[in-house]
C-alpha cells in the first residue's frame, strides 16, 4: 500500500515544506500520512482500503501509477476487500462553485455512486451572473445543478450561498461547513488541491482543511455536539491549476462519457468555456501520463489513514464518538 503514496524526496520535499509554511501550519498535520514508498502498509494487506476498481500502485519511473483491476494481479472483487469503494461509504465533495467538483472529481464520484456510496456535495459560493447568462433565472440555473447532480449520482447538495469575490474565512462560514461534516461524517473528502491559483479555490481549500480539524475537535458545539471522526481519505482535485505532482490516480475510462454528460447539464457555463471538451482533454492527458493510455483523474493525497487499518464491508458506519 505504501507505494501508492509518493513522498517527495530531497529538494522537492524542502520546496514542498516551504510552500506549506507560507500558507501556514496544517491543523491536520499530526495526522498526515507517513507511509514509506515501496513498503507494504503493515496495517493491512497491500492494496486493502483502495476504492473499488483500483489496484495497488506500481512504480513508473519516478512516479506511481494506479490502474484498474485486471486479472489475478488486481484486487479480489470480494466486497469485504473493496475498502473505500464499499457500499455504505460516505463521501463529501467540497467545491468553491457549482461544477468544480464535477470537473475535478466527477468520474470518481460517479464510480462511488455506482458502488452505493452516500454522496454529499457542498457548493460554497453562489452563482455569479455574467452578460452571457444574465437572462437565465435562478430557478433555471438550479435545474442545471440538479440535473448534473443526478448524473453524478449525488445523494444531496448543500449550498452555502456565499457571494462571489466576497468570500472570507469567517467563523460563521467555518461553522456552517463543520455542521455539514458532523452531520454526514464522511469517510472520504474531496476538496480543491493546495496550489489552485484561483483565489476562491485557494480559500475553499483552507476553509475545508480548517473545518475538517474543527469537526473532529471537542469544541464548536454550536455546529453539532458530537465530533466527527477524521475521514479515512482526503483528496485534493484540480480545476484551474493542474497539479505539478500528484499521488493518487483514478481510472475513469468507463465513466468518462457520463462525466461529460453531467458537465453538459451546465449549459449556461458552456457559454463561457467548453468545459466538456476540457474534461476529455485533461482526462486523456492524465491517462497517458499516469496509466499509459485511457482517461484518468489525479489527486493530491492530503490524508490516508483507514480506520482500523482497512475498511471492510462495515466501512461507513459511525465509530464511537470521540
Q: pLDDT (tens digit, 9 = 90+) per residue, 274-311?
A: 889 999 999 999 999 999 999 999 999 999 987 643 33
- The pLDDT value given to residue 203: 95
At 134-190, the pLDDT tens digits run: 667 888 889 999 999 999 999 999 999 887 777 888 999 999 999 999 999 999 999
- The pLDDT value given to residue 168: 85
Mean pLDDT of 52-57: 39
How far apart CA 216 and CA 223 sit, in angstroms, is 11
Does residue 41 have a pLDDT over 80? no
**CA torsion angle for 229, 210, 246, 151 (degrees, to 10)?**
70
- The pLDDT value given to residue 225: 82
Spatial contact of 103 and 190, defined as CB atoms under 8 Å apart? no
At 202-222, the pLDDT tens digits run: 999 999 999 999 999 999 988
Angle, CA of 44, 115 and 207, to the nearest 5°: 75
- The pLDDT value given to residue 98: 92
Sequence-distant (6+) residues with CB within 8 A of 94 are 101, 121, 122, 124, 177, 189, 190, 191, 192, 204, 207, 208
Does residue 38 have a pLDDT over 50? no
Mean pLDDT of 104-114: 97
**Could you give the domains of the chain?**
81-304 (3.40.50.10320)
Does residue 75 have a pLDDT over 60? no
pLDDT averaged over every residue in the chain: 74
Q: Nearest to residue 302, comparing CAs of 232, 240, 252, 228?
A: 232
How far apart CA 108 and CA 91 sit, in angstroms, is 10
Does residue 64 have a pLDDT over 60? no
Does residue 264 have a pLDDT over 80? yes
User: Which DSSP letter does residue 5 get?
Assistant: S
Going by pLDDT thresholds of 50, 70 and 90, the confidence category of residue 269 is confident
DSSP letters along 122-158, please? EEEEPP---TTTTTS-HHHHHHHHHHHHHHHT-SEEE
Amino acid at each position: 500500500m505504501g507505494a501508492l503514496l509518493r513522498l517527495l524526496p530531497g529538494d522537492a520535499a524542502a520546496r514542498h515544506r516551504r510552500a506549506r509554511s507560507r500558507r501556514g501550519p496544517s491543523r491536520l498535520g499530526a495526522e498526515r500520512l507517513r507511509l514509506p514508498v515501496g513498503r507494504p502498509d503493515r496495517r493491512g494487506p497491500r492494496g486493502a482500503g483502495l476504492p473499488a476498481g483500483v489496484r495497488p500502485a506500481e512504480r513508473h519511473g519516478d512516479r506511481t501509477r494506479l490502474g484498474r483491476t485486471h486479472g489475478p494481479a488486481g484486487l479480489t472483487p470480494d466486497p469485504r476487500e473493496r475498502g473505500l469503494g464499499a457500499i455504505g461509504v460516505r463521501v463529501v465533495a467540497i467545491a468553491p462553485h457549482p461544477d468544480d467538483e464535477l470537473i475535478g472529481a466527477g468520474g470518481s464520484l460517479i464510480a462511488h455512486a455506482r458502488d452505493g456510496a452516500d454522496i454529499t456535495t457542498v457548493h460554497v459560493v453562489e452563482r455569479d451572473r455574467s452578460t452571457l447568462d444574465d437572462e437565465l433565472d435562478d430557478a433555471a440555473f438550479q435545474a442545471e445543478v440538479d440535473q448534473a447532480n443526478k448524473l453524478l449520482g449525488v445523494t444531496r447538495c448543500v449550498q452555502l450561498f456565499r457571494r462571489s469575490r466576497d468570500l472570507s474565512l469567517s467563523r460563521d462560514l467555518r461553522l456552517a461547513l463543520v455542521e455539514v461534516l458532523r452531520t454526514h461524517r464522511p469517510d472520504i473528502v474531496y476538496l480543491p488541491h493546495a496550489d489552485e491559483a484561483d483565489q476562491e479555490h485557494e480559500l475553499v481549500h483552507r476553509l475545508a482543511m480548517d473545518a475538517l480539524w474543527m469537526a473532529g475537535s471537542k469544541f464548536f458545539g454550536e455546529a453539532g455536539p458530537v465530533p466527527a471522526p477524521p475521514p479515512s481519505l482526503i483528496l485534493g482535485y484540480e480545476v484551474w491549476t493542474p497539479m505539478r505532482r500528484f499521488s493518487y490516480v483514478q481510472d475513469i475510462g468507463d465513466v468518462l462519457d457520463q462525466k461529460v454528460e453531467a458537465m453538459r447539464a451546465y449549459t449556461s457555463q458552456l457559454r463561457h468555456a467548453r468545459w466538456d471538451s476540457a474534461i476529455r482533454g485533461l482526462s486523456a492527458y492524465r491517462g497517458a501520463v499516469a496509466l499509459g493510455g485511457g482517461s484518468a483523474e489525479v489527486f493530491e493525497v492530503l490524508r490516508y489513514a483507514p480506520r482500523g487499518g482497512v475498511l471492510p464491508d462495515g466501512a461507513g458506519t459511525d465509530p464511537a464518538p470521540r
